[in-house]
Amino acid sequence: MIRSIVLCASLALALTAGPASAQQRAVPEGRAQVQLSLAPVVKQAAPAVVNVYGTRVEKQQQNPFFDDPFFRRFFGGDFGVPQERVQRSLGSGVIVDPSGLVVTNNHVIENMTEVKVALADRREFEAEIVLRDPRTDLAVLRLKNKGPFPALLLGDSDALEVGDFVIAIGNPFGVGQTVTQGIVSALARTQVGITDYQSFIQTDAAINPGNSGGALVDMHGRVVGINTAIFSRSGGSHGIGFAIPASMVRVVVDSARNGGRSVRRPWFGARLQVVSNDIAESIGLDRPAGALVAAIDDRSPAAQGGLLRGDVIVAVDGQPVDDPEGFGYRFATKPLGGTASLTVLRGGKKVVVPVRLEPAPETRPREAVKITGRSPLAGATAANMSPAVAEELSMDPVSEGVVITDVQEGSAAAQVGFQKGDMILAVNGERIGTSRALEKALRERSRLWELTISRKGQVFTTVLGG
- The burial class, CB within 10 Å (0-12 / 13-18 / 19+), for 453 is middle
Residue in 89, 212, 247, 255 annotated catalytic: 212
Residue 149 Cα distances to 93, 100, 139, 358, 370, angstroms? 13, 6, 19, 35, 41
Mode of pairing for the β-strands spanning 223-230 and 215-217:
antiparallel
The answer to whether residue 107 is catalytic is yes
The answer to whether residue 212 is catalytic is yes
The answer to whether residue 394 is catalytic is no
Residue 91 Cα distances to 150, 167, 178, 214, angstroms? 19, 17, 12, 8
Residue in 89, 92, 97, 107 annotated catalytic: 107
Q: Cα 371 to the chain's mean position, in Å?
A: 28
Mode of pairing for the β-strands spanning 402-407 and 423-427:
antiparallel
Q: Cα 148 to the chain's mean position, in Å?
A: 28
Type of residue at 98: P
DSSP state of 290: S
Please state, in angstroms and rounded to a whole number, the distance separating the CA atoms of residues 222 and 204.
18
Please state, in angstroms and rounded to a whole number, the distance separating the CA atoms of residues 150 and 148.
7
Residue in 89, 92, 133, 137 annotated catalytic: 137
Please state, in angstroms and rounded to a whole number, the distance separating the CA atoms of residues 205 and 235.
15
Considering Cα of 391, then 393, then 396, then 397, what sign does the dihedral take? Answer: negative
Name the phi and psi angles at 421, rounded to 5: 100, -10
| Cis peptide bond N-terminal to 148, omega within 30 | yes
Type of residue at 163: G
- Hey, which residues are catalytic here? 107, 137, 212
